[in-house]
């Protein structure tokens, strides 16, 4: 079970939102590279970046901060990023900058052909981000709900060759109300590629529940607000995961 600290970028700073609402941004740091170093030193084995401005603008806005983070961690751990990745040239540039994985969300839903092309061009480096409320996929920074069922879309994208799915329950994101484990497991069981849980992580109990379903295909969880407000101690959580995994 990968515990993946999230660094959400808005105007070059590290923030957290509630349910994707930019007006709810809480700033947790002015130096994203220093934040990345903090999680690396705490034992993180992967980082998850979101360009929040980019998700709304339709193109990356916080590229300087992303580059600084990648420089800081070097090739010690993989870094994945989503938010505003809407064309192949942009993806290529970010991968050249040192990202290990790009996460395509809205563009995958609105333009599946683009996702297919990205998987062909950058096989092994493309993750799809599916954000859902009540089983239906949302796009455009969660502002628009589609009629697409999460599992149906995920299966289609798996056939395209995506590396993994980041599944976010947007009703829970940033709310510390607990991960939607039932929906995450249901999705993982329908796929052969890994699923990463996201949204609502509230503490160590959630992580223990996720470890119990890891064999279903839930291979990691994005850790956001719970890390930043202190309700989840990353070092202790990583130690617990290693214990549960027999490490």
Q: Give the Å distances, CA to CA, from 169 to 100, 178, 196, 214, 222.
A: 24, 10, 11, 18, 12
Whether the CB-CB separation of 7 and 34 falls below 8 Å is answered with: no
Q: In a 3-state reduction of DSSP, which class is residue 184?
A: helix
173 is catalytic: no
| Rounded Cα gap, residues 114 and 158, in angstroms | 14
Q: What angle do CA 37, 38, 41 make, to 5 degrees?
A: 80
| Rounded Cα gap, residues 8 and 192, in angstroms | 28
Catalytic residue among 8, 169, 173, 206: 8
Sequence-distant (6+) residues with CB within 8 A of 198 are 6, 166, 167, 168, 169, 173, 221, 222, 224
| Rounded Cα gap, residues 39 and 33, in angstroms | 10
Q: In a 3-state reduction of DSSP, which class is residue 102?
A: strand
131 is catalytic: yes
Catalytic residue among 21, 30, 51, 131: 131
Whether the CB-CB separation of 77 and 46 falls below 8 Å is answered with: yes
Active site residues: 8, 131
């Amino acid at each position: 079970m990968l515990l993946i600290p999230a660094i959400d970028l808005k105007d070059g700073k590290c923030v957290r939102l509630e349910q994707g609402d930019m007006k709810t941004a809480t700033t947790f740091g002015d130096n994203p590279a220093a934040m990345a170093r903090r999680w690396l030193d705490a034992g993180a084995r992967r980082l998850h970046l979101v360009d929040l401005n980019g998700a709304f603008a339709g193109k990356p806005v916080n590229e300087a901060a992303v580059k600084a983070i990648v420089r800081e961690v070097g090739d010690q751990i993989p870094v994945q990023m989503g938010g505003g990745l809407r064309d192949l040239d942009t993806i290529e540039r970010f991968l050249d900058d040192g990202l290990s994985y790009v996460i395509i969300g809205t563009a995958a839903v609105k333009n599946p052909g683009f996702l297919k092309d990205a998987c062909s061009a950058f096989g092994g480096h493309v993750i799809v981000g599916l954000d859902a409320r009540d089983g239906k996929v949302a796009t455009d920074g969660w502002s628009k709900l589609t009629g697409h069922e999460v599992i149906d879309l995920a299966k289609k994208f798996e056939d395209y060759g995506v590396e993994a799915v980041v599944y976010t329950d947007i009703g829970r994101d940033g709310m510390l109300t607990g991960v939607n484990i039932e929906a995450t497991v249901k999705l993982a069981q329908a796929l052969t590629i890994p699923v990463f849980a996201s949204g609502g992580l509230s503490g160590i109990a959630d992580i223990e529940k996720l470890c119990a379903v890891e064999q279903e295909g839930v291979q990691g969880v994005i850790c956001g607000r719970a890390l930043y407000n202190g309700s989840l101690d990353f070092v202790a959580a990583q130690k617990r995961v290693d214990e549960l995994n027999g490490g």
